[in-house]
Structure 1
Amino acid sequence: MDRIDLQILKILQDDATVTVAEISSRVALSATPCWKRIQKMETLGILKKRVALLCAPKVGLGLTVHISIQAGDHSSEKLDDFVRAVQAMPEVLEFSRLAGEVDYALKVVTSDISAYDDFYKRLTAIMPLRNVTSHFELQKIKSTTALPLDLAAGAAPEIRESFGRPVERVVALRPV
């Protein structure tokens, strides 16, 4: 991945509705090669999808809860069933398996405490859990979906090499 690829990604992270013509102008590249770079990054899974980010409270989802879970049963079958059930719950925005004292972390949105209580009951009914700790978000201090691409020089070699360019060409981004 070179400086131009990183600039393209930075632009798209900031606003995915920018046209290819605008992106190519900002990175000093003609439109066709710019579009080919974007397509290649999509094919490689670097660009996963382009979405609109919503303000949860303005659409009636004003309660955000961060949940830590310690599973009671660590058998493969039980955990697979648990993962499938939690993945299907629409309130769950993020779901991660962790190492350490906590097995899973969830980020959940609901309309209010009553809706969260309903979610909690469904969650704990899936399988016996040793511990479920809920942390209610009082204030969002920082929230971003943009990756810090200026740190990309430390990216995994398989990502850099997937572009067929030497690692030495990866550089920090300068503001556009």
Structure 2
Amino acid sequence: MDRIDLKILGCLQDDAMMPVAAVAEKAGLSTSPCWRRIQALIEKKIIRRRVALLDANLVNVPVTVFVTLKTNKHHSKWMTTFAREIAKIPEVTEFYRMSGEVDYLLRIVVPDVAAYDNVYKRLISAAELFDVSSSFAMETIKYSTALPLNYAKV
């Protein structure tokens, strides 16, 4: 990767539907070389996929809940089963295995508290858990899917 690739990645992180000609102009290239670079970034799996970011309010999931989970089970069979079951819950948009006092962290989006209660019931039936703690986001201060590119090796 070089600085031109980083410019291309920056453009696509900002707007994945940006026409190649516009990306090329911002990166200082003509269209064909820019398209080839994008294809190379896809082949190298630097660009994993292109997605549409939706407005949570307009698709009726304005409530974000961060859920911390603790378990007494720390073996691969339990973890594999648990991960498979959690992955089936569409309201879970992010799922992390953590270090420290919390074992797992989930980001869940729902229309309201009643919908979260239904998700909670699915969570606790997915596997044996020691503790489930929920925190409702009151306000989104910053939300971005863009990764910082200043650490990329050029």
Q: Which moved more, 1:27-36 or 1:130-139?
A: 27-36
Question: Do residues 134 (structure 1) and 149 (structure 2) align?
Answer: no
Deviation of 1:78 after TM superposition, in Å, equals 1.4
Shift of 1:75: 2.3
Distance 1:129 1:72 in 2: 7
Give 1:1-176 correspondences, 5 Å limit: 1-149=1-149, 151-152=150-151, 155=152, 160=153, 170=154
Q: Distance in 2 between matches of 1:69 and 1:112?
A: 21
- What is the deviation of 1:23? 1.2
**3-state SS in 1 of match to 2:21:** helix
Deviations 1:75-117 (A, max 9, x none): 2211110010001110010001111111111000111111100
Relative to its length, the structure with more helix (as a share) is 1
Provide the rounded CA distance (Å) in 1 between the counterparts of 2:147 and 2:127.
Answer: 35
The 3-state SS of whatever aligns with 1:59 is: coil
Distance 1:36 1:21 in 2: 12
Letter in 2 for 1:119: V
1:173 match: none
- The residue type paired with residue 61 of structure 2 is L
Give the ranges of 4+ consecutive aligned residues of structure 1 lying more than 6 Å apart after TM superposition: none
SS of equivalent to 2:39: helix
Normalised TM-score (structure 1): 0.84
- TM-score, scaled to structure 2: 0.95
More deviation in 65-74 or 5-14?
65-74
Superposed CA deviations along residues 123-159 of structure 1, whole A, max 9, x for unmatched, are 011222111111101000000111121x22xx3xxxx
Unaligned runs of 5+ in 1: 161-169, 171-176
Alpha-carbon separation, structure 2, partners of 1:56 and 1:142: 14
- For residues 100 and 76 of structure 1, what CA distance do their matches in structure 2 show? 18
Aligned-residue sequence identity (percent) comes to 46
Structure 2 unaligned residues grouped into runs of 5+: none
Count of paired positions: 154
* Aligned alpha-carbon RMSD (Å): 1.1
